[in-house]
A and B are shown apart, each in its own frame.
Chain A
């Protein structure tokens, strides 16, 4: 049997952190919806469709977090060769793909009434699609590796290379002066109405907690997969040992 990744993960039971995250997300999601539909003002130029922003932008933040964490843990895995880092990197990448899927669905739904088109060749949109494709490729690559060591190594390299797209996405609006609105003041945006800013911050916090919850669940699933593989090997060895020579 390999070294346990985490004693609580191995039992398949949820821990205190996971339960706390479930409660926090269950409380915060209705609060967010109340903020979005009852409290924040309607934007003057875009109208009600601008409210897509309160889930679109936090999804992008959660996706960024996933990609960043994947790259960091991939680098740590290549350095330390510790399976725990690979487990977190794989889980982060999968969750990042989920959040970027939301970004890539809600973005065009917002763009159609505001820009008049579902999609343009704008740099932020294209680079986000490229990031999604790279991490979807990361998940496919891991499934097709010949052994766990190769899977982790290939995954780590692609996890780091894929993250090089993050600064391009973030700075694209400034570097290429695209159509995409600037959201943050630090990137040169005009700033938001204080109520809108509070709504955005609350939704961002909720999505980050949701990311953390999904990460804990996905890491537990990864640890159980390791257990299952080890137990299967153990059973096979015992079966082979019991057979007559």
Chain B
């Protein structure tokens, strides 16, 4: 009697334990073309942001270095050092 009563429960548990052959799992979602395309847009945006920030800083630093070097050289020449 008890075992008979557990049979439907066991079949439900077996169903739940099964890996879905096809379905809405994260791995499948990530591989879908529209999701890949959307991901690439964000990836592009992120890498563009990285390069822009680094380029602006390196450029501003090199301009600052060039300006300072020429100012120091000019003052040294004027001071006769």
Contact = CB atoms under 8 A, between A and B. Distances in A.
Q: Give the dominant DSSP class at A's interface.
A: helix
Nearest to A101: B53
B68 A221 contact: yes
Contacts of A217: 61-62, 65
Contacts of B61: 214, 217-218, 221
Interface string A60-99: 0000000000000000000000000000000000000010
B47 to A, nearest CB: 7
A221 B49 contact: no
13 contacts: A12-B72, A59-B50, A102-B54, A105-B46, A110-B42, A110-B46, A113-B38, A217-B65, A221-B61, A225-B68, A231-B75, A232-B75, A235-B79
Interface of B: 26-27, 29-31, 35-36, 38-40, 42-43, 45-47, 49-50, 53-54, 57-58, 61-62, 64-65, 68-69, 71-73, 75-76, 78-79, 81
Contact of B50 (A44, A106, A218): A106
Interface of A: 10, 12, 42-49, 51-52, 55-56, 59, 98, 101-102, 105-106, 109-110, 112-113, 210, 214, 217-218, 220-221, 224-225, 227-228, 231-232, 234-235, 238
A56 B68 CA distance: 33
